Amino acid sequence: MRTLHIRGGFVVDPANGLDGVVADVWIGDGSIIAPPGDPGFKADRTIDARGYVVMPAGVDMHCHIAGSKVNAARGLRPEQARESKGWSRSELTRSGTTSTVPTSFVTGYQYAGLGYGTAVDAAIAPLGARHAHHEFQDTPIIDKGFLALMGNNHQVMDAIREQNPGRLREYMSWLLNATGALGVKVVNPGGVETWKQGHGNLATLDQQVPGFDVTPRQIMTELAQAVDQLGLPHPMHLHGLNLGVPGNAAICEESMRAIDGHRTHMAHIQFHSYGGTPTDLDSFGSSVGPLVDYVNAHPNLTVDVGQILFGETTSMTADGPVGQFLQRVTKRKWVSNDIEMETGCGIVPIEYRDKNVVHAWQWAIGLEWYLRMDDPWRIAMSTDHPNGGSFLAYPQVIALLMDRGLRRDVLASLPEAVRTKTALVDLPREYSLAEIAIITRAAPARILGLKHKGHLGIGADGDVTLYAPDDDKTRMFSLPRYLIIRGDVVLDGGELRAIPAGRTMHLAFETDPDVVRSIEEQYHRSASIHFSHFGVDPEEIGPGITVPCDGQKEVQS
């Protein structure tokens, strides 16, 4: 057995109740093992971790790092790639560009540089699954997976209209299996299809989707229920209606009520927590209060934040109408891509400016969420990379959460309307190191249903990050001392030492051939490709981990 001994660090492993306890961590053949019974046992390698903080490697549960949308964004912004420093080729690493949408290899290297070991792309169109898996194979070091978009899928909406939940589950399990997906994503349910038909966006939960005679309320509740019944490891991952629209907090709360007790993950909730009215920008403000109260009181709900940072970035979403809205506001270049039977896509460059009242509100609203959630186990750190900003900004966000003085300093530079009205001023909370470990690893792993991630208990993946304690938290979390992936030292003092391939995490289901035949009949009606070319072959997926649903067993390949 290949062994690594991480000796004497301050272990912060909230899932196992360790909060800065001096302890040893042992890894054998890639997984955490119990300390050997023989006190004289010498590991193949020992890291003297005395003085260092030892945490599970980071887990990003909501980002956009692969597939046709991300790649279109790269192609759209050569000016950014040219201005960026770029990533140099070395004996170990491939070269690449380092814009707000880094190249695939650089994405893996940068996550590792940040002490992260896992990232989940939150929005892949099933028809784009093959592309996403290709890019995943060129995204090294991290384990990764994607959520398949289903909220505007024709067969999903047809099954819901026909009030046939059995058919819905059969279709979903077939689709998850055929695409090698890790979970179910719902984006603006029904709204994207309605917009694609030229009828504009949907603004309420009970409008009908033309041609399908279902409502957003039905789509989200039926899908949430089906996800629970299928026993998927991760709940339905919801990006609701009216993203970015002033006053959208009301429909956000209504959506959470509509879910009615089913597990649901509310994605980038910052973008859904606005007060005011669309016609009066002066009325724009925070409505975090009622939303966070609701989430605090309902344990079936989890959130990630989608924090924005000031600066240039590239917005990208499966919410086609949001792309069109942003393009109207920014007047900048715009990619929109309708994907047959499934979804839309919008990409628009955007700059968040601290002098802009709306942007300043967005910044404050994100932080308000972190600081007002009672239970850190139900909130995950995200910038919705690259929508709110790059994942490289996580250390900045951590610093803001751990230091109210820093928040006050930034607030002082923001427009008066925000400075005087935001609830941030009255939130003295400062995150502890353990709480940071929860929202950046333990909680996202638990919310994703990844039992081997986000903790250092026996059997967990041997993914460990060591940090040098530092009063400057941005520096501390920007420069991990070591990153260990499955027992191998990948990062040592800021230098990459090894580049493992990383694995693709996906679900697997058996599907009844009769069911597949009936799906095929429906498929041919509107598809432009032959049904036999839709599914992704196992050999098209890189080294994989099948994540089990309730009642299934885990398989590694």
Partner 1 sequence: MPITAGRSVCLGCGCLCDDIEVIVDEDGILDPRHACDPGRIWFSHEGQPTLEATIDGSTSTADAALDRAAEILVSAQAPLITGLCGLTIEAQRFAVALADTLGGVIDSSKSWDLARQQAFARVGIVTASLGEVKARADVVVFFGVDPMVTHPRHMERYSAVPEGRFLTRARTVIVARSNSKTPADVTHRVDPCSQLAVLATLRAILRNAWLDRARVETATGLSFEAIQGWASTMMTASYGACFFGSDLPAASIESLLLLVRELNERTRFVAIGLGQAGNLAGAESVLTWQAGYPSAIDFSSGVPHSLVGDTSVDARLARSEGDVLLILGQSDQHFGTNIPTLAIGFQATRRLGLAVGIEGARPGIEARGSVARVDGVMLPLRAIQESSYRTEESLLRDLLGRVVELQARRR
The minimum distance between CB 57 and partner 1, in angstroms, equals: 24
d(CA 287, CA 273): 5
Choice between 137 and 422, CB closer to partner 1:
137
For the stretch 370-401, what's the b/e string if a residue is b when 16 or more beta carbons lie within 10 angstroms of its beta carbon?
A: bbbbeebbbbbbbbbbbbbbbbbbbbbbbbbb
Going by DSSP bridges, is the β-strand pair 301-304/379-380 parallel, antiparallel, or unpaired? Answer: parallel
The minimum distance between CB 466 and partner 1, in angstroms, equals: 29
> Tokens 């992936």 appear where?
485
The token duo for 127 is 């028809």
The minimum distance between CB 350 and partner 1, in angstroms, equals: 13
How many Cβ atoms sit within 10 Å of the Cβ of residue 23?
18
Choice between 196 and 419, CB closer to partner 1:
196
d(CA 86, CA 213): 49
Choice between 95 and 420, CB closer to partner 1:
95
Choice between 257 and 328, CB closer to partner 1:
328
The DSSP symbol for 426 reads: G
The minimum distance between CB 67 and partner 1, in angstroms, equals: 9
The minimum distance between CB 516 and partner 1, in angstroms, equals: 8
The minimum distance between CB 200 and partner 1, in angstroms, equals: 10
d(CA 132, CA 119): 13
Choice between 489 and 516, CB closer to partner 1:
516
The backbone region for 294, taken as left when phi is positive above 0, alpha when psi lies in -120 to 50, beta otherwise, is alpha
Choice between 85 and 553, CB closer to partner 1:
85
The minimum distance between CB 387 and partner 1, in angstroms, equals: 17
Choice between 230 and 397, CB closer to partner 1:
230
d(CA 98, CA 108): 12
The token duo for 532 is 């036999």
The minimum distance between CB 499 and partner 1, in angstroms, equals: 13
- Closest CA relative to residue 151, chosen from 234, 203, 64, 220: 220
The minimum distance between CB 202 and partner 1, in angstroms, equals: 15
The minimum distance between CB 552 and partner 1, in angstroms, equals: 15
Choice between 129 and 401, CB closer to partner 1:
129
How many Cβ atoms sit within 10 Å of the Cβ of residue 557?
11
How many Cβ atoms sit within 10 Å of the Cβ of residue 95?
12
Choice between 230 and 291, CB closer to partner 1:
230
How many Cβ atoms sit within 10 Å of the Cβ of residue 75?
11
Rg (CA), the chain: 23
Q: Are 262 and 228 in contact (CB under 8 A)?
A: yes
d(CA 97, CA 496): 17
The token duo for 52 is 């260092």
The minimum distance between CB 511 and partner 1, in angstroms, equals: 8
Which residues pair with residue 45 across a beta bridge?
4
Q: Are 377 and 301 in contact (CB under 8 A)?
A: no
How many Cβ atoms sit within 10 Å of the Cβ of residue 258?
20
d(CA 58, CA 320): 31
d(CA 171, CA 356): 45
The token duo for 283 is 């009325």
Choice between 170 and 435, CB closer to partner 1:
170
Choice between 76 and 418, CB closer to partner 1:
76
Choice between 46 and 336, CB closer to partner 1:
336
The minimum distance between CB 332 and partner 1, in angstroms, equals: 8
